Amino acid sequence: MKADFHMHSCFSDGSETIMQIFFIAKERGLKAAAITDHDTILGMKEEEKASKKYCIPYIPAAEFTAAEKRMKFHVLGYGIDPENPELLRYSNCFLEQMNERSRLQIRKMQRDGIEIEEKEFFEKAGGGPLYRAKLLGVLADHGILKREEIMESLHSYFGKGAPYEEEDRFHYRSFYEVCTMIKEAGGNVVLAHPGKIKRKDVQLYHALLREECLDGVEVYHHDNPEDVRAELLAVAGDRHLMVTGGSDYHGIYMKKPVLPGAEELPEEMAEGLKHLLSGKRTNSFDSTFV
């Protein structure tokens, strides 16, 4: 099935606008999509416009950061309300605090002789938080580093002990709190790329898969090896959980760039997700989706 339910735009840490992503999706023959920007729903009105323009139904979604045992991991919320007051408040708070950190980093750069105005950096943000990769994207525009070096340079610019290191002071919520926020916004809780969690903390991985508030698991993701995919499918079958997947597209801000729709999704995934779609164009869509 040609669809992608995990992509990121410039409203979070992606390099492309939502309209650009839907254009690429149309060119690649995608039948459905979801922009899952990090810790924000501020791009959803633009997603609705893009869906209408390119006739691609979408699932209103976001990817939230949870913190447990001093480790951060991600939780996808599918079918959330774009007008939910708490999600809007959370999104605006995240935007404000991320941008304040970026201002401190820009000032450090300027003190080091990087003569680029703050305004130019924020223009690169495209309406979303000014993530570190976007800061380096501006440096690449000025020839200070190569575009293909952006992701591998993050640590040397912003990592522990790096010249432009600045602590992330945003208060990330616990898994339970994130689940509550998603569900109160009418959404479904899906554990994002669980293979990443398993590599870092196998006990946390198994504990999360047992959580009652879980509605689904992201199986089809490049960070899930085949054995993890098989394990997740077994858990989903036993617990009657939704199965999701996608490319995790970030435009140029990826160590190994891929295009929307790069992750091949099986036909049977559609039946469990089509009820979440917004922007269906015709009743005949169901027959082409499944």
Bridge-partner residues for 66, per DSSP? 73, 173
- Alpha carbon 238 to its chain centroid, in Å, reads 27
Residue 268 lies in a domain: yes
pLDDT the model gives residue 88: 98
What domain count does the chain have?
1
Choose among 220, 226, 151: nearest CA to 192: 220
Residue 216 lies in a domain: yes
Q: How many CB atoms lie within 10 A of CB 252?
A: 15
Q: What is the pTM of this model?
A: 0.94
Residue 159 lies in a domain: no
Give the CATH number for residue 36: 3.20.20.140
pLDDT the model gives residue 269: 87
Structural domain range at position 206: 3-89+171-289
Residue 50 lies in a domain: yes
pLDDT the model gives residue 286: 52
pLDDT the model gives residue 280: 57
pLDDT the model gives residue 285: 44
Burial class (CB in 10 A: 0-12, 13-18, 19+), 221: buried
CA 156, 162, 163, 169 torsion-angle sign: positive
Residue 155 lies in a domain: no
Count CA atoms closer than 13 A to 177's CA, side-chain side.
11
Residue 21 lies in a domain: yes
pLDDT the model gives residue 70: 84
Mean pLDDT for back-to-back runs of 10 residues, the chain (290 residues) = 94 97 97 97 97 97 94 97 98 97 97 96 93 97 95 96 95 97 98 97 97 97 97 97 97 94 90 81 44
Residue 126 lies in a domain: no
pLDDT the model gives residue 287: 44
